[in-house]
Structure 1
Amino acid sequence: MANDESGMLTGRCLCGGMEYEVRDAFNYAMNCHCSNCRRATGSAFKPFAGIESDKLRIASGQDLVSIYGDAEQAHDVHCMRCGSLLYSIVNNGATAHVTMGTLVEAPTIKPSAHIFVASKAAWHEITDDLPQYLEFPTE
């Protein structure tokens, strides 16, 4: 599904078995450097965009959904076949944190900050001018 007049974006896992649709109406986007995001992605940080959970739906591959964490409160949604982390559900199920690297089309939002830099990988140097927060920004 292309980024069209309805403002929908498509995301998919590495093997293509799972696909989701999400509105291009993200509330925020950040680069998370916490150890959990690093482990989940195998990368120095996880670029993610936050949106209300009801603005995201699995379009295909429901049978491949693998949930890691508390199914109600907060969890990660992976593809059971390839292991791709597609999104996380947080805030007692109210918010989805979409992993931006799984989006097929470019969203209109870009990350605006680095968060949890107090626990960032020692081998990674942040070289851009985005604000850096030791934890999650509260303002």
Structure 2
Amino acid sequence: MINKIISKYKATLDNFKGGELKCHCLTKPVIVEIKGQSAHNHACGCSKCWKPDGALFSQVAVISKDNLKVTNNESKLTVIDDSATIKRFACKRCGVHMYGRIDNTEHPFFGLDFIHTELSTQKSWSAPTFAAFVSSIIETGTKPEDMDAIRQQLTSQGLAPYDCLSPVLMDVIATHIASH
């Protein structure tokens, strides 16, 4: 199940111009245009993230919110949980999360949108470099006794497993908090 998500995007092109993300609706899909390359791509096990059918992890990256534009069927989007830090915009019909946005200007990740690059047919997005919130897959039904094997598989694919964000992103959060 991990391979279903992680292996999809191996190559990263520095000069990648971006692409489109599409929901799973067969007619009138929501289409989101992304300009430029994504960053901090990772496998995410959190229980809030949308995941493809049968997958333990989603693939999540960030881009500047200025580089995201909904180009088709924006009226089909709804925010899943208005009280969440990350407002996840999902298609009302198929349920796919198209992007997440933080509207709190004091948050260290304000200005970034979270995207699921596995919703794109383009193959040159930034490659995943770590796995976040790995233990959270227990909340969605994974047996605790399977976790060692899952962490070993993630590690064998070059994805350091964390139960938070990567050290670089945790440093960004701590630096932001220290400066305010």
TM score, norm. by length of structure 2:
0.64
Structure 1, unmatched stretches of 5+, are none
User: Could you tell me whether the CA contact under 8 Å between 2:16 and 2:125 is conserved in 1?
Assistant: no
Matches for 1:123-138 after TM superposition, within 5 Å? 123=143, 125-126=150-151, 127=153, 128-137=157-166, 138=170
Structure 2, unmatched stretches of 5+, are 1-14, 105-109, 172-180
Distance of 2:136 and 2:83 partners within structure 1: 26
User: Is 2:53 the counterpart of 1:53?
Assistant: no
User: Is 2:29 the counterpart of 1:7?
Assistant: no
User: Is 2:92 the counterpart of 1:80?
Assistant: yes
User: Is 2:135 the counterpart of 1:118?
Assistant: yes
Kindly indicate which of the two structures has a greater share of residues assigned to helix.
2
User: Could you tell me whether the CA contact under 8 Å between 1:118 and 1:135 is conserved in 2?
Assistant: no
The worse-fitting range, judged by mean Cα deviation, of 86-95 and 17-26 is 86-95
Q: Name the larger-Rg structure.
A: 2
Q: How many residues align?
A: 133
Counterpart in the other structure of 2:35: 23
Q: Percent identity?
A: 19
User: Is 2:117 the counterpart of 1:105?
Assistant: no
Kindly indicate which of the two structures has a greater share of residues assigned to strand.
1
